[in-house]
Amino acid sequence: MTDVLRRGRASLAFSFFAQGATFALLVTRIPAIQDRYGVSDALLPVFLAAVPVLAGVGSVTTEQLVKRVRPSRLLRWSQPVVLLALLGVGAGGHMAELAVALAAFGLTVGALDASMNMLGVSLQRTYGRSIMLGFHAAYSLGGIVGASLAWVGAHWHLALWVSYLPVVAVLLPAALVGSRWYVDGGSAPVPEAGDAVEGPGGRETEAGTVVFRLLLPLCLVMTFAYIGDSTVSNWSAKYLQDTLGSSEQLATVPYNVYMITTLLGRSIGDFGVRRFGAVAVVRLGALVAALGFAVVAGAPGAWVGMLGFTLLGLGLCVLVPQTFAAAGRLFPGASDTAIARLNIFNYVGFLIGSPLVGALGDAWNYRGAMLVPMALVLVTLVYARSFKPGQDRYGGGHERPRTADVGRGSNGL
C-alpha cells in the first residue's frame, strides 16, 4: 500500500512539473509567437485573455465530467492534449491555426489544472499530512526549466516548433507512462449525503454539497494571490527598468528570482504546515508578500526592488496550494466539485491582475499601483480562519496513519 502511495505521489508530482514547464514555454515566448503569426499589439491582448477565459470554461466542464469519469483518467488524457496544443502553437503558420491551438490549450489546461489539484488534495487526505505544497514546488521547478529552455531557444534564434518539439517528445510519453500510477481515492471517512459537517468557525454544511457562501473566502484568496502573481510576471521587468532605472539585462532578473524563491518556499512549506498549522503559514505568507510589495513600491533602486520581488516569491508561494487544500477539507464529501469551482478564480485573478496594475500605473504611477495588490493580499488575513483544519489536523501528533486505504490507481479503472 505504501508503494502505491509513493508511486501515485511521484507520478502526480511529475504531472505538475510537466505542466509548469509547458506553461512557461508558452508565456515566455509570447513575443516570438506574435512575430511568427503577425499578431498586432491591439489583437494580442484578445488572444492572451482568451486562454484563461477558456481555461475557466474547462474547469467548469471538469466539475461535471468528474461525476462520471475519475479525475485520474481526465488528467491522463488532458495533459497530452495540452502538450500537443503547445506544439501546435509553434508549428502553425496562419492566425486561424494559432487561434485553434490556443483554444485547445485553454480548454484542456482548465481541466488539467483542476484534475491535478483534485488528485493532490485526495492524496493529501490519504497521507493524513500536508503534501500539497510539494506538488506545487514541482510545478515551480518545471516553470524554471521551461523558462530556461525558452531562453535557450530565443538565444539561438530557434524556430518555435524546434524549441517545442524535443520538450513535447520527452514529456508526453513520460506523462502517459506516469499516469498509470495515479491514485484517485482519499481515505478520510466521508459523511453520508445529508449529514452535517463542521466547517470553519463551527458552521455546519451538508456533506456532498458545496455551499458557495463558505467557499467564497477561499475564492477571494485565490483571486488575490493570482493578482499578485500576475503583477510579478507581467510588470516586474518594466517596473525595474522604467521606474527603478535598471539596465535591460538586470530587468530580466526579478522574475527568475521570484520563481526560485517560490520553489524554495514551496519545498519547505509542507514542513511549516505540519509544525505550525495552515492558518499560521497562510498568515505569514500574506504578511511576507505584503511586505514584498511595500519594499517594491518604496525601493530607491533596482537592488532593493529585487529584494522586494524575492519576498514576494516567499510569501505568495504558499497561498494557492493551501487554498486548494482548505477547499478539500471544507467539503470532504464534495472536494472535487469545490476544487473545480475554486480553480476558476485562478484565471479570474490572472485576468484582473495585469490590466489592473497597468491601468493604475498609467493613470497614477507604478509605485502606487504596487500598493493595490499589497492591500488585496493583506485581505487574506481576514479570511485566514477559513484555512483552519477540522478533522484533517496536520502535525503535532495529529497525523493519521499512513496505512489508510486508498482508491485504486487509475490503471485499475
Domain CATH for 217? 1.20.1250.20
Question: Rounded to whole angstroms, how far apart are CA atoms 112 and 96?
Answer: 24
Q: Residue 177 domain-assigned? A: yes
54 within domain boundaries = yes
- Angle made by CA atoms 160, 162, 167, in degrees to the nearest 5: 100
Residue 12 grid coordinates: 502526480
- Domain-located, residue 312: yes
Kindly state the percentage of the chain with pLDDT values over 70: 88
Domain boundary among 116, 148, 181: 181
Please report, for the chain, how many H helices and E strands are present, in that order: 14, 2
Are 297 and 379 contained in the same domain?
yes
In a domain, 397, yes or no: no
C-alpha 336: how far from chain center: 16
| pLDDT tens-digit series, residues 264-310 | 999 999 999 999 999 999 999 999 999 999 999 999 999 999 999 99
**Same domain, yes or no: 138 and 170:** yes
**Do the domain assignments include residue 283?**
yes
Q: What sign does the dihedral 35-40-45-46 (CA atoms) show?
A: negative
The verdict on 162 and 282 lying in the same domain is no
The residue segments making up the domain with residue 132 are 1-181
CA dist., res. 152 & res. 208, Å (int): 48
Residue 400 lies in a domain: no
Q: Looking at the structure, tell me whether residues 64 and 115 fall in a common domain.
A: yes
* Nine-digit cell string for 312: 514576494
What pLDDT shows up at residue 246?
Answer: 82
The C-alpha torsion from 87 through 89 and 92 to 97, rounded to 10°, is: 130
Q: Do residues 296 and 366 both lie within one domain?
A: yes
**Which residues are CB-neighbours of 245 under 8 A, at least 6 positions away?**
301, 302
- Strand locations in 267-338, DSSP E? none
Q: Is the pLDDT of residue 402 over 80?
A: no
Give the C-alpha distances (Å, rounded to integers) separating 274 from 98, 108, 167, 316.
Answer: 45, 33, 35, 19
CB neighbour class for 249 (10 Å; exposed up to 12, middle 13-18, buried from 19): exposed
Give the per-residue pLDDT at 80. Answer: 97
Dihedral sign (CA 239, 245, 249, 254)? negative
Amino acid, single-letter form, for residue 39: V
pLDDT at position 406 over 50: no
Q: Grid cell 480548454 — which residue?
A: 107
Same domain, 57 and 127: yes
- Of 154, 181, 208, the one marking the end of a domain is 181
Instruction: Kindly state whether residue 139 falls inside one of the protein's structural domains.
Output: yes
Number of domain units in the chain: 2
- pLDDT tens digit sequence for 366-379: 999 999 999 999 99
**Are 163 and 307 in a shared domain?**
no
Burial class (CB in 10 A: 0-12, 13-18, 19+), 397: exposed
- Same domain assignment for residues 140 and 19: yes
Which candidate, 89, 102, 109, 101, places its Cα nearest to that of 47?
102
**Residue from 193, 186, 27 nearest 106 by CA:** 27
b/e per residue 41-77 (b: at least 16 CB within 10 A): eeeeeebbeebbebbbbbbbbbbebbeeebbbbbbbe
On whether residue 148 sits in a domain, the answer given is: yes
The length of the chain in residues reads 413
Query: What angle, rounded to 10 degrees, do the helices at 366-379 and 335-363 form?
Result: 160
Phi, psi dihedrals of residue 169, rounded to the nearest 5°: -65, -30
**What is the pLDDT at residue 185?**
67
Q: Is 168 exposed, middle or buried (0-12, 13-18, 19+ CB in 10 A)?
A: buried
Distance CA 136, CA 133 (A): 5
Sign of CA dihedral 281, 282, 287, 290: positive
Per the CB < 8 A criterion, the answer to whether 171 and 18 are in contact is yes
Digit-coded pLDDT (tens) for 106-155: 999 999 999 999 999 999 999 989 999 999 999 999 999 998 898 888 88
pLDDT grade, residue 48 (50/70/90)? confident
Tell me, yes or no, whether 262 and 141 share the same domain: no
Question: Is the pLDDT higher at 333 or at 380?
Answer: 380
What does pLDDT average to over the chain?
87
Residue 153 sits in the same domain as residue 199: no
Q: Please tell me whether residues 314 and 240 are part of one structural domain.
A: yes
334-369 b/e (C-beta count within 10 Å ≥ 16 → b): bbbbbbbbbbbbbbbbbbbbbebbbebbeeeebeeb
| In a shared domain, residues 204 and 162 | no
Residues 275 and 250: their CA atoms lie apart, in Å, by 38
State the average pLDDT over residues 31-40: 90
pLDDT digits (tens, 9 = 90+) for 193-246: 444 444 444 444 444 577 888 899 999 999 999 999 999 888 888 888 889 988
